[in-house]
Amino acid sequence: MALVLKRYIQVASGDPSSLASGVKQAEHGVEEGSNVELQLNFHMVFPLFEETANGLNATLKFAGVEPWPGNDRLVYADPDKKSYFIRWRKGFEWASIIVSALWALAIIFVALLLWKFFKVVLMPLFQQYPWLAPVLIVAGLLIMIPSPKEAGVGAG
């Protein structure tokens, strides 16, 4: 019977940039061929939680990340714990690729949420008040124009 040593360390907490640097630093000390697990804990189970995990799994497989021996998946979603478990075999510095894939999925997720907001909230509002869209566009443009004070006009 072989003795398997497991070492779990918290590498980051908070924003994605601390995750990226923490995971990269932690992976440097791991031997080639070792099984590595990254646990991502979320504050809540967001919409499309498991579908996002499946997309991340497909992205990492396409990038060539190797799963643990005997496993066909890299990403496991656990809605009860509000967590993703990403399990890969170290043979390359995969941390940067994994973090990049997480960033890409976060951007896609935000874009989908914005689209849903636009479709569900703003479209009915613009249909009910057709004058509102041009007013918001003009207001947005006016906000971007610098004031004479900011532009340095009249300063002498």
- The parent domain of residue 100 ranges over 16-119
Residue 52 falls inside a structural domain: yes
**What pLDDT shows up at residue 3?**
47
pLDDT tens digit sequence for 22-34: 777 777 777 888 8
**What pLDDT shows up at residue 7?**
59
> How far is residue 92's CA from residue 124's CA, in Å, rounded to a whole number?
50
Residue 115 falls inside a structural domain: yes
β-strands 83-89, 35-41 pairing: antiparallel
**What pLDDT shows up at residue 32?**
81
| Rounded (10°) angle between helices 49-63 and 95-117 | 140
Residue 147 falls inside a structural domain: no
**Torsion on CA atoms 108, 111, 113, 119, rounded to nearest 10:** -140
Number of domains the chain is built from: 1
Determine the length of the chain: 156
Residue 129 falls inside a structural domain: no
* Residue 1 pLDDT grade (very low, low, confident, very high; cuts 50, 70, 90): very low
Residue 32 falls inside a structural domain: yes
Structure tokens at 119: 């479709």
**What pLDDT shows up at residue 153?**
61
Global pTM value: 0.59
Q: Inform me whether the pLDDT recorded for 102 exceeds 60.
A: yes
**What pLDDT shows up at residue 67?**
92
pLDDT tens digit sequence for 122-150: 889 889 988 988 888 898 888 888 777 76
Residue 137 falls inside a structural domain: no
Contact status, residue 16 vs residue 103, Cβ threshold 8 Å? yes
